[in-house]
Amino acid sequence: MKRLIAILIPAILFVQCAQENNTLIQRNQLGKINKSTSIAQLDKMFKNDSIEKHPKDTELIREYKVFGQSGKQILVFNTLVQNDSIKGLELVKIYSDKYVTEKGISTSSTFGEISGNYTINKIEPSFSSAILFIDEINATISLNKKDLNLDEFDMRPIRQDQIPDEASINYITLWFE
């Protein structure tokens, strides 16, 4: 019985770590996905999900959307195209909270959790969002301006102290270098 337990515990931990590594947001990497991951590899990784490729009916895929089994968009990959050929992945937009950084930040986190765990290097306004730049993980995080009590098209600079701790995340963009 002790031998069985001694075998089962490491096996369970190994499986758990493998699952966690597939959803870990790190600098230049999302799970096993990095800049050099091909469209064919993405097709294999997400074979159980619904995939939408743009433009359709072409070899030159610019945008690769992944929808979970619930039909909800979970990831969007943009390819880096140069001279009419794909040179790798440029970025991934993360919409699902199953993808988490080493410090526990996901799309279900709040601004207070982000600022408590990461240095916010810059904040830029867009028409509908405040974009947080997190150099440590080479990512940007989009916050809805409505959560900040700002007008949608207000393009004035946004200070960190203007953002309420409860502000929620729209999506996380992980940039591949």
| pLDDT tens, residue by residue, 90-121 | 999 999 999 999 999 999 999 999 999 999 99
Are 39 and 33 spatial neighbours (Cβ–Cβ below 8 Å)?
no
Taking residue 177's Cβ as centre, other Cβ atoms within 10 Å add up to 8
The pLDDT confidence band at residue 5, using thresholds 50, 70 and 90, is very low
Q: Which of residues 18 and 53 earns the better pLDDT score? A: 53
Provide the pLDDT for residue 56: 86
Provide the pLDDT for residue 14: 42
Residues 110 and 143: their CA atoms lie apart, in Å, by 9
Q: Give tens-digit pLDDT for 7-25.
A: 444 444 444 443 458 999 9
pTM of the predicted model as reported, rounded to 2 decimal places:
0.85
Q: Please calculate the CA angle 150-121-163 and round it to the nearest 5 degrees.
A: 25
Domain that holds residue 90: 2-175
Q: Is residue 170's pLDDT more than 80?
A: yes
Looking at residue 92, the DSSP 8-state letter turns out to be E
Query: What is the domain-level CATH number for residue 24?
Result: 2.60.460.10
Please compute the mean of the pLDDT values over residues 33-39 and round it to a whole number: 94
Residues 63 and 66: their CA atoms lie apart, in Å, by 10
Q: How many domains does the chain have?
A: 1
- Is the bond leading into 157 cis (omega within 30 degrees of zero)? no
Please compute the mean of the pLDDT values over residues 16-38 and round it to a whole number: 84
- Find the DSSP H helices in 48-145: 111-117
Token duo for residue 115: 């600022």
